[in-house]
Amino acid sequence: MRRLVSETTLRPRQLILPLFVAEGAQEPRPIGSMPGVVQHTRDTLRRAAAEAVEAGVGGLMLFGVPATRDAVGSAATDVDGILNVALRDLRSDLGDDTVLMADTCLDEFTDHGHCGVLDASGTVDNDATLDRYAEMALAQAEAGAHMLGPSGMMDGQVGVIRRALDDADYAETGILAYSAKYASAFYGPFREAVDSQLTGDRNTYQQDPGNAREALREIELDIAEGADAVMVKPALAYLDIVKAAAEASPVPVAAYNISGEYSMIEGAAANGWIDRERTILEVLTSIRRAGADLILTYWAAEAAAWLD
Ligand code: PBG
């Protein structure tokens, strides 16, 4: 009877698995603060991606960890850069069996760790960054990404990427916009995951955790600029925003169950303080209940197997 009247569905196709691939890695490198998550080699990435697709996940979100970094994040737009090479690997293995997505952001590739390029005073230069995002988008579309995930929170990023794609005949490449992305302490473990070089913070371009109305404004702007789906991030401390976005948005809403949310549960479960599987399914259900159509989660493949 409980199954009959259950209000919230949680299905593998609603889950997107974020994956990390490191240039030059000979073995998968464990990420200490995210037990169970690794920086993949090109080969182990291919295997993990195939397994996740086999388990039924709806999509993959790929992040690259380059061997060398510079001020403008050159490796992000290099056809031989690790993220673009890995996208080509996965597209050739998986074709259209899954929705292959890429993080369209410079922070993994810059030697200062910011999501954009800096001006002479060391501040992130919004408009100069947009030019780099357009180039990065084209490199990723060319490498086979079905959908791009601009996550840098620069004003105008969705519009610039949409135009660049359309002008280069990539009209079918979609955009999953990180629209309401908060300046959050929960990104901590991700910094280790991508060997981030960041020393300051992202308060000048990500949202203030206290602001809700601003999130809806960001979502509206991204939709007007051509976003095919919008995202709220992090998920758990922002379920009110997920709900408001789901009520307002005419396009699908994603929520990113981020690194720190993953690590808290893994840490507590490893100590025997909580039941791991029940907690994970409860968390994912809560994000769906709040209204997210899609969930990015490091548990995507494992949870998909349970749900099957
Ligand atoms: C930026 C980006 C970040 C995450 C996804 N894309 C880091 C940041 O904005 O600081 C965080 C994901 C996570 O914490 O799991 N490229």
Residue in the structure block whose two tokens are 């840098």: 152
306 CA to centre of ligand 1 in angstroms: 26
Question: 53-57, 176-180, 193-197, 279-283: which range is least confident on average?
Answer: 193-197
**Any ligand 1 atom below 6 A from CB of 103:** yes
Structural domain boundaries, residue 163? 7-201+211-307
Q: How many domains does the chain have?
A: 1
Domain-located, residue 105? yes
Band of residue 180 on the pLDDT scale cut at 50, 70, 90: very high
**Any ligand 1 atom below 6 A from CB of 261:** no
**Spatial contact of 132 and 118, defined as CB atoms under 8 Å apart:** no
Mean pLDDT of the chain: 97
**Any ligand 1 atom below 6 A from CB of 105:** yes
Residue closest to 42 by CA, chosen among 21, 18, 11:
21
Band of residue 261 on the pLDDT scale cut at 50, 70, 90: very high
Domain-located, residue 206? no
Domain-located, residue 178? yes
Band of residue 155 on the pLDDT scale cut at 50, 70, 90: very high
Domain-located, residue 96? yes
**Spatial contact of 101 and 19, defined as CB atoms under 8 Å apart:** no
**Any ligand 1 atom below 6 A from CB of 187:** yes
Give the residues across from 62 on adjacent strands: 19, 102
175 CA to centre of ligand 1 in angstroms: 17
**Given the CA of residue 107, which atom of ligand 1 is nearest to it?**
16
Domain-located, residue 126? yes
Q: Provide the pLDDT for residue 38.
A: 98
Q: Does 233 have pLDDT greater than 80?
A: yes
Give mean pLDDT, residues 41-60: 98
Domain-located, residue 2? no
91 CA to centre of ligand 1 in angstroms: 23
Q: Does 210 have pLDDT greater than 90?
A: yes
Domain-located, residue 1? no
Domain-located, residue 43? yes
Q: Does 308 have pLDDT greater than 80?
A: no
Q: Provide the pLDDT for residue 257.
A: 98
Give mean pLDDT, residues 32-41: 98
Q: Give the pair of three-digit tokens for residue 268.
A: 């507590």
User: Residue 196 is part of a domain; what is its CATH number?
Assistant: 3.20.20.70
Q: Does 230 have pLDDT greater than 80?
A: yes
User: In this prediction, what percent of the chain has a pLDDT beyond 90?
Assistant: 99
- Is residue 232 classed as helix, strand or coil in its secondary structure? strand
Respond yes or no: is residue 243 known to be catalytic: no
Q: Write the pLDDT tens digit of every residue in 105-118.
A: 999 999 999 999 99
Respond yes or no: is residue 181 known to be catalytic: yes
**Any ligand 1 atom below 6 A from CB of 182:** no
Q: Give the pair of three-digit tokens for residue 32.
A: 């200490």
Q: Give the pair of three-digit tokens for residue 203.
A: 């308060």
Element spanning 147, H or E:
strand 147-150
**Spatial contact of 124 and 106, defined as CB atoms under 8 Å apart:** no
Residue among 40, 69, 181, 288 flagged as catalytic: 181
Residue among 64, 233, 266, 304 flagged as catalytic: 233
Q: pTM value? A: 0.98
